[in-house]
Amino acid sequence: MAAGCVSRMIIRMVRRTAPAIGLNKMAITIKSEKEIALMRESCRLLAIVHKELGEAIRPGMSTWEIDQMGDQLIRKLGGVPNFKNYNGYPASICVSVNDEVVHGIPSKKRILQEGDIVSLDAGLIYKGYHSDAARTHGVGKVSPAAEKLMKVTEESFFVGIKMAKAGNHLFDISNAIDAYVRPFRYGIVRDLVGHGIGTKLHEDPQIPNFRQLRRGPLLRPGMTLAIEPMINMGRADVEWLDDDWTVVTQDGSWSAHYENTVLITNGEPEILTLYD
Ligand code: MF3
Ligand code: CO
């Protein structure tokens, strides 16, 4: 399907419906060298945004301030925030605190406290090409359990992309992430998945972070993918708040998110949104 079907699906990094994966025709775009150069630049700028935002996080700050800072920085760098007004999303940076999984809406009233964990999801468009990446940060000193959740989530991404090479199949990535996370007995979010990215924020294919029975489409050089494990300390189940955006864990457990835009090559994948 892609980011396209029904209202809700469009917005959530492509929300999964049961029969969708693999059964429908997919159109996974292969980027030309010229397009890849633009993707690289879009992603390089986004990496700067994440670095700056990460360094700015501190207790007492509102999530609105983070959005302001991110929005201004994206524009200063020559990009356009791609989340802003995306299906009505009201901000440029998704800021999700503690039990919020993704798509939290920045607010002047939401003040970060020491010990919180905060997921920042950001993206931009540069010369028509989208980038998308997320990081989860501790606010001041956080509990060992929260540290571990953030670490395992980030590690799961890196384990996953070891499989992200031409000749492998897409769900080799999904299965690797699942196999890595499972022993920690965390909940791997299933209602939201990663996605292709390029001239649109959400392109085919959908990229689940949990085990698949099929291997999925063949990976080819020139594919650009946003791979984004969302991992809960408790159960996998999530729900949507009444603002119709904020995704929270059903059991109130804390959640971490880590995402990069990645280029499939003939060799190792290129992680385009890493800061040097
Ligand atoms: N990385 C998020 C995603 O892939 C970005 C959401 S943009 C929003 O869904 F505008 F929908 F929040
Ligand atoms: Co994404």
pLDDT in tens, 59-90: 999 999 999 999 999 999 999 999 999 999 99
Domain boundaries along the sequence of the chain? 21-271
**HSE value, Cβ hemisphere, 13 Å, CA-based, for 155:** 12
Tell me the mean pLDDT in the region 1-19: 39
Tell me the mean pLDDT in the region 177-196: 98
**HSE value, Cβ hemisphere, 13 Å, CA-based, for 132:** 26
Per the CB < 8 A criterion, the answer to whether 63 and 95 are in contact is: yes
pLDDT (0 to 100) of residue 107: 98
The Cα–Cα gap between 194 and 189 comes to 11
Q: Percent of the chain at pLDDT above 90?
A: 90
Cβ neighbours of residue 237 under 8 Å, at least 6 residues apart? Answer: 187, 249, 250, 251
Tell me the mean pLDDT in the region 119-129: 98
First to last CA, the chain: 34
Question: What are the pLDDT digits (tens) for 238-259?
Answer: 999 999 999 999 999 999 999 9
**Strand spans (E) along 27-182:** 80-81, 93-97, 100-102, 117-126, 129-138
Ligand 1 atom nearest the C-alpha of 195 is 4
Pocket test for ligand 1, best of 49, 103, 119 (most atoms within 8 A of CB): 103
pLDDT (0 to 100) of residue 276: 84
Cβ neighbours of residue 129 under 8 Å, at least 6 residues apart? Answer: 35, 38, 39, 41, 42, 198, 199
The single-letter code of the amino acid at 240 is W
CATH number, domain 21-271: 3.90.230.10
Neighbours of ion ligand 2 (CB under 5 A): 13, 132, 226
| Helix/strand/coil for 172 | helix
Alpha carbon of 79 to those of 23, 67, 71, 152: distances in Å? 36, 15, 9, 31
pLDDT (0 to 100) of residue 2: 34
Taking residue 190's Cβ as centre, other Cβ atoms within 10 Å add up to 15
Residue 7 confidence (pLDDT) above 80: no
Distance 12 CA to ligand 1 centre (A): 6
pLDDT (0 to 100) of residue 221: 98
- pTM for this prediction: 0.92
Question: What are the pLDDT digits (tens) for 35-66?
Answer: 999 999 999 999 999 999 999 999 999 999 99
- The verdict on the CB of residue 91 being under 6 Å from ligand 1 is no
The Cα–Cα gap between 258 and 157 comes to 7
Band of pLDDT at residue 155, cut at 50, 70 and 90? very high
Record the tokens describing residue 111, joined without a space.
């003040």
Per the CB < 8 A criterion, the answer to whether 109 and 89 are in contact is: no
Residue 21 confidence (pLDDT) above 60: no
- The verdict on the CB of residue 35 being under 6 Å from ligand 1 is no
Question: Do the bridges between strand 230-232 and strand 187-188 make them parallel or antiparallel, or are there none, so unpaired?
Answer: antiparallel
pLDDT (0 to 100) of residue 11: 43
- The verdict on the CB of residue 130 being under 6 Å from ligand 1 is no
Ligand 1 atom nearest the C-alpha of 89 is 10
Average pLDDT, the chain: 93
C-alpha torsion angle, residues 30, 45, 89, 29 (rounded to 10): 0
Record the tokens describing residue 230, joined without a space.
């969302």
The answer to which of 3-17, 169-183, 258-272 has the lowest mean pLDDT is 3-17
